[in-house]
Structure 1
Amino acid sequence: MATFEDNLGGRLALLAPDDLNSDQKKLYNQLQDTMVPWAKKSGFQAATFDDRLVGPFNAMLRSPLIAKALMSVTAAEGEHTSLNEKVRQVVILTVGAAWQAAYELYAHTAVGRQAGFDEATLQQLVAGQKPATLSADEAVAYDFTHRLTTTHQIAPELYEQAIVTFGEKGVVDMIALAGQYMTISGLLNTFAVPAPTAAT
């Protein structure tokens, strides 16, 4: 009989730690050491009570070597980005809303809350709307990311605004972050990964 925990995998079974091959186990251990504690600290769930990974992490175990490289990009972005945390969360939530990626929106609503956004602002971002409460740089990040993820083009005026606001490095950083979460959203939507609705 399927359990609630099994449903958290969407179209994929949740892999148990004992069932992993060598490469999967290395990635699993890395995620358990980094992403699972970060998720707990941020207020969202990345593993079940019996230590099976959920969200995009369960899907990543299917291709552990590429996923390990993806996590290296994630680590590099976190260490070297020129974007502040609130701008980062605007970018991530804007991508999640455009993709309607339930787990990503669930997770980064929690992260955005910790970054200092109020609930009304977060709910507007989740709904794909531009909150009036965004700061000037956050508003540019929203406009840039929304256009990039929905029309895939950046008009000259918006490009100039982004360059003035973030500089060339910041624009590259913003594109890299958006692309990273397009990949995550693609994993989540392809495998129909839901957001948890209760503790497991």
Structure 2
Amino acid sequence: MSETSELVGGRLAVLEPKNLETEQRSLYDFIDQKFVPWSQKAKFAIKIDDGRLVGPFNTFLYSPQVSTAFLEFMEAETQFSTLTARVREVVTLTCGAFWNAKYELYAHSALARKAGLSEQTIRALATGQPPEALSVDETLAYDFTRQLITEHRVSEDLYSRAEAAFGKTELVNMTFLIGHYLLTSALLNTFETPAPDQQADITKKG
């Protein structure tokens, strides 16, 4: 077990699979089946080489009943939204940058690469800078997200342009997406959950 793997839980111990209670084990298995393959495809770590979970997924195990409902919400939001993968990552990285949520920025930088965003754009989003080379819709999503999380409302002009581009239903879904990652960022920062060292062994098995 590497020293690095001992650090990835932040304020919360990284729970051993063999010591999980029944509801924790059920949640662990759900994450292992649903989310670990997702992370492996994008090349970021949810599970370290000894089987323990990292990032918010370890945190979820501490409250399995509520966390299961939250992950079901996450699954529904992903399934029924028609936002493109690129728009989703623009929104998510904008949320993560506002909170400086290190694991979120680490994971969603990988997902943004998979979605086709450039390294320059990813760096800008992750550091809270206005990104260049986005499409009109992606820029609108960035502006909408940024204004909502910094000013706690959206101006009439920006709302009208976003509604024309995405429609009412997808603006509802975009707001759900923003809320999802603001909550995730809050969990990460409350427990000082770091990003794994991308050079360490923990990224090998995702």
TM-score scaled by structure 1? 0.97
Q: How far did residue 136 of structure 1 move?
A: 0.1
Cα deviation code 1:33-81 (max 9, x no counterpart): 1111111111101111101000000001011011001111111111100
Residue correspondence of structure 1 range 56-95 to structure 2 within 5 A = 56-95=56-95
Q: How far did residue 3 of structure 1 move?
A: 2.7
Q: Higher mean Cα deviation, 106-115 or 144-153?
A: 144-153
Measure, in 2, the Cα distance between the counterparts of 1:158 and 1:93. 20
Residue correspondence of structure 1 range 141-160 to structure 2 within 5 A = 141-160=141-160
**1:16 match:** 16
Contact 1:92 1:108 in 2 (8 A): yes
Measure, in 1, the Cα distance between the counterparts of 2:191 and 2:94. 20
Cα deviation code 1:136-162 (max 9, x no counterpart): 000000000011111111111111111
Residue correspondence of structure 1 range 2-151 to structure 2 within 5 A = 3-151=3-151
Q: Give the root-mean-square deviation of aligned CA atoms.
A: 1.2
Contact 1:89 1:111 in 2 (8 A): yes
Contact 1:47 1:53 in 2 (8 A): yes
**1:199 match:** 201
Q: How far did residue 82 of structure 1 move?
A: 2.0
Query: Which one-letter code corresponds to 2:201 in the other structure?
Result: A
Q: How far did residue 189 of structure 1 move?
A: 0.5
Q: How far did residue 2 of structure 1 move?
A: 8.7
Cα deviation code 1:156-190 (max 9, x no counterpart): 11111110111000110100001001111111100
Cα deviation code 1:114-143 (max 9, x no counterpart): 000110010000011121211000000000
**2:179 match:** 179
Measure, in 2, the Cα distance between the counterparts of 1:2 and 1:134. 40
Measure, in 2, the Cα distance between the counterparts of 1:45 and 1:77. 22
Contact 1:82 1:169 in 2 (8 A): no
Query: Which one-letter code corresponds to 2:22 in the other structure?
Result: S
Stretches of structure 1 that go unaligned for 5 or more consecutive residues are: none
Measure, in 1, the Cα distance between the counterparts of 2:101 and 2:194. 8
Aligned length: 200
Moved over 3 A (4+): none
Q: Using CA pairs below 8 Å that are at least 6 residues apart, which structure has the higher relative contact order?
A: 2
TM-score scaled by structure 2? 0.95
Query: Which one-letter code corresponds to 1:163 in the other structure?
Result: E
